[in-house]
Amino acid sequence: MTYTLHVNGDLYQLDVPPQRSLLQALRDDLRLMGTREACGVGMCGSCTVLVDGKAVSGCLTLVPQVIGKQIITVEGLAKEGKLHPVQQAFLDHHAFQCSFCTPGFIMATIALLTEKPQPSEDEIREYLAGNLCRCGSYPEILLAVRWLIENRPSDSWESIPPEEQPSVETNR
Ligand code: FES
Ligand code: FES
């Protein structure tokens, strides 16, 4: 089957079976390795990406489920050499050690703040509970998220301007 995926503002054509997971498509077909694979069964959050602005687990999502939807991965966040504010906040607050979990936490944080710009402490913890960090960087991650809530630049969560039209880039 040929599917067209809209990823980070570009269109990609993939010839894959319908049971291909979004995670496999991103990593193995498009070589977007920033989306990490750990548990593969929806338990760790390392494969979190945005689909139409919502955080989803790439390992639990099939390619046919995201046709016509905007997918954003961690590779799509920085613009013109400038990190996305959430990326910058994680860096500034040393919110990682090995960084394996970091892309997933960053995408989940963007989804959280898009959905709820002023979440309570409980809401932050509940929203990010599906993301696991084996290095135990939770205190620094929470510091970064709290800093963003208090200091966030306005309108910074949208990574792709709506007026930006996708272009066909790759056929696979
Ligand atoms: S790899 Fe998808 S949730 Fe763990
Ligand atoms: S920083 Fe190593 S798993 Fe989170």
Q: Closest ligand 1 atom, CA of 58? A: 2
> What fold is seen in the domain 2-77+159-171?
Ubiquitin-like (UB roll) (3.10.20)
pLDDT(164) > 80: no
pLDDT(166) > 90: no
DSSP letters for 30-74: S--TTS--SSSSSSS-TTEEEETTEEEEGGG-BGGGGTTSEEE-G
Structural domain boundaries in the chain: 2-77+159-171, 85-151
Confidence band of 152 (pLDDT split at 50, 70, 90): confident
- Mutate-to-test residue for ligand 2 from 137, 138, 140, highest number of ligand atoms within 8 A of CB: 137
CA angle 151, 156, 157 (to 5 degrees): 110
Decide: 25 in ligand 2 pocket, CB within 6 A: no
Q: What is the pLDDT of residue 170?
A: 44
Residues 76-101: tens digit of each pLDDT: 999 999 999 999 999 999 999 999 99
Q: Which residues pair with 15 in a beta bridge?
A: 2
Residue nearest ligand 2's atom 4 by CA:
133
Does domain 85-151 fall under CATH 1.10.150.120? My reply is yes
Q: What is the pTM of this model?
A: 0.91
Q: What is the pLDDT of residue 146?
A: 96
Residue nearest ligand 1's atom 1 by CA:
40
